[in-house]
Every structure is written in C-alpha cells, then in structure tokens.
Amino acid sequence: MDLPESKMQERSYYQPTANSVENLPTVLQTFHNTPRVMLSPHWHAQVEVNFIVQGWVHYRMAGYELRLAAGDMVLFWGGLPHQMDDASDDAIYAGAHLPLVHFFRLRLPEEVPARLMAGATLLIRETDSSDGANFARWNGYTRSGDMVRAQHAVSELLLRLERVRFEPYALLPSLDAHAGQASAADPQALRHVRNLCDFIADNFLDDIDSADIAAAADLHPKYAMSLFKKCTGMTLNDYVSLLRLSYAQARLISGDGNILRVAMESGFGSLSGFNKSFRKIAGMSPSDFRRSGQGERPILAPVEPGTAPQA
C-alpha cells in the first residue's frame, strides 16, 4: 500500500534505523499518541502490544498484511520485520514494547507463545470500553516517576493480555495461509531473516551456534551473520543470548530452581558464561537480580510525546 507523494508530504513519517529500539531490549516502553507512517520495516527484540484508540492503521508484517480499526488490540513478536505503512488522519494508538522477560511470564493459551515467536499476530477484536481508558492510565502511570504506580501498570497490562484465554481471539495468518506474500522490503532478505528467527525461536534453549542457525536457513554462516546484523542491529549470538537471558530472568523471578539449574535449562553451557552474559544485559549478577527483586520493579522508559516507539 504505497503512499501518494502528496500524502507523504502532509503526514509525519518515520524512518527506522537499526538502533531505534533494538538497543533497549530490557526496557519497557509505553506510548499513547498519533502514529507516524513508517517508510520501511523495522525489528526490535521485544514483544509489542498495540491498541487502536481511534481511526485505523495498516500493517505489513512478516509475510502478511493487517488492517486494524478502533477497538482492535494486537500482540506480536517485534523480532520479525513489521511496518505501519498507512493510517487514517485521525488515528491514535496506544500500547507498549514488552521486554521478553514479561512475555515468558505471560500465561497465554498453549498455542499462542510458539505461534507469536514464529511470526503470527494475536488479534483481539471484542475489546470493551475500559481498554481505551486503561491504556491511557497505564501510560500515565509509567510516566509518573512513581515506581509503585509503574509496577501496577505493568501488572494490570499483563493480566489484561492473559484475559484473552476467556475471550474470542484469532492468530493471523492462519496456519494454512501462504507465508511468502510480497513485502515492502526485499522479499528474499525478509524470508531469510524470518527463517533465521523461526529456527532461533524453536531452538534457543538448545546448544546452537551461528553455523547451526545459518544451516537451518540454507545460508552461508558469514552471509547469515551479516544479513541478520544489517536487518536487526544485533548479531545472531547476541539475539540468542537475549532470548536465553530473558527466559532465565523469568525463571529467577518465579523462584523456579537454583541459579546453576536455571543457567543450564536456559541454554547456557556453563555458569561462568551465564554470569557474564547476564551482567552484560541486566547490569548485575543473577544472584543480585534475584535478591533485589528486580522482576518486581521493571525498568521503565516512558517516551516523550511525539517520540513513541513505532509499530
């Protein structure tokens, strides 16, 4: 859905860069504003939730398109290419970029997590009037500077997402849909990145390396690493580590096992490697993370008006 040149000139638009959101994978970001049309797809290592307050928006996802109207809510994995390429003049949307640690804590219907990590979008169309007011309040709470309010907003948002098990929802595209539709970016590059992400999502808890990931997508390792870095701003190894660390954080928060067991079951070959990677991403040791109750006090990055993350 290409924008006419006159419409582009009238509208505020957004040109994603590789480091627009991707450098903050452990930060929760909330937004409630007018979306800017994106000139190209982007990726970020967080799960994204969008609620359309008014108007409509159009998305190009990894291999399919999606049009959302006021009252629609979606949840999708931002690690695959996505682009809001059109929107009504009166569109307003709200939502959040959720660090993976929150995603792994969500109690969603059994089929949902794997489908989301493989590129599907969870669509909830039968929302109610309270959702619009809640998203506005949650955004206000995260901007308040009050950590108690901020944590309350996170807890309410996660509970709202978990409520989908009691409501009608859809996972798009359907399992029998064709996965190779045209995309706004290089279709071949997008297919390669999606294949890489699919394999990582299915196997990040196992002993895999860049050669294994590249082979699964029928790519030369050097080309796979270069393409992934160019498209996502992260190396393949950093991406795998991020998923493993986020999974481990969720385990530590729940008190599920000692640190050595968590390290081994999160895909790390040694406790020293786990500690090093954990410090790099979380800024503290796993034991300090557990003792400090970090999971009960999320890292927040409220975004100033007009600079919200783009869907």
pLDDT in tens, 35-86: 999 988 877 778 899 999 999 999 999 779 999 999 999 999 887 778 999 9
112, pLDDT greater than 80:
yes
172, pLDDT greater than 60:
yes
118, pLDDT greater than 60:
yes
Question: Would you place residue 303 in the very low, low, confident or very high pLDDT band (cuts 50, 70, 90)?
Answer: very low
295, pLDDT greater than 50:
no
Of 11-20, 144-153, 218-227, which has the strongest mean pLDDT? 218-227
Residue 173: cis peptide before it, omega within 30 degrees of 0: yes
pLDDT recorded at residue 34: 95
272, pLDDT greater than 80:
yes
pLDDT recorded at residue 82: 87
Question: Would you place residue 128 in the very low, low, confident or very high pLDDT band (cuts 50, 70, 90)?
Answer: confident
Cα–chain-centroid distance for residue 267? Answer: 21
Of 12-21, 258-267, 302-311, which has the strongest mean pLDDT? 258-267
Place of tokens 């928060």: 253
pLDDT recorded at residue 183: 38
Average of pLDDT values for 202-230? 91
130, pLDDT greater than 90:
yes
95, pLDDT greater than 90:
yes
pLDDT recorded at residue 11: 64
Average of pLDDT values for 273-285? 83
Average of pLDDT values for 205-214? 93
178, pLDDT greater than 50:
no
pLDDT recorded at residue 74: 97
Question: Would you place residue 22 in the very low, low, confident or very high pLDDT band (cuts 50, 70, 90)?
Answer: very low
Average of pLDDT values for 178-182? 38
Question: Would you say 67 and 56 are in contact if contact means Cβ atoms under 8 Å apart?
Answer: yes
Q: Which long-range contacts (CB under 8 A, 24 or more apart) does 175-184 make?
A: 177/64, 178/63, 179/63, 179/64, 180/63, 181/63, 181/64, 181/65, 183/41, 183/60, 183/62, 183/63, 183/81, 184/40, 184/41, 184/60, 184/83, 184/85
Task: Return the minimum-mean-pLDDT range out of 153-162, 174-183, 231-240, 248-257.
Answer: 174-183
pLDDT recorded at residue 78: 84
Question: Would you say 4 and 86 are in contact if contact means Cβ atoms under 8 Å apart?
Answer: no
25, pLDDT greater than 60:
no
Q: What does the mean pLDDT of the chain come to?
A: 80
111, pLDDT greater than 50:
yes
Average of pLDDT values for 23-44? 79
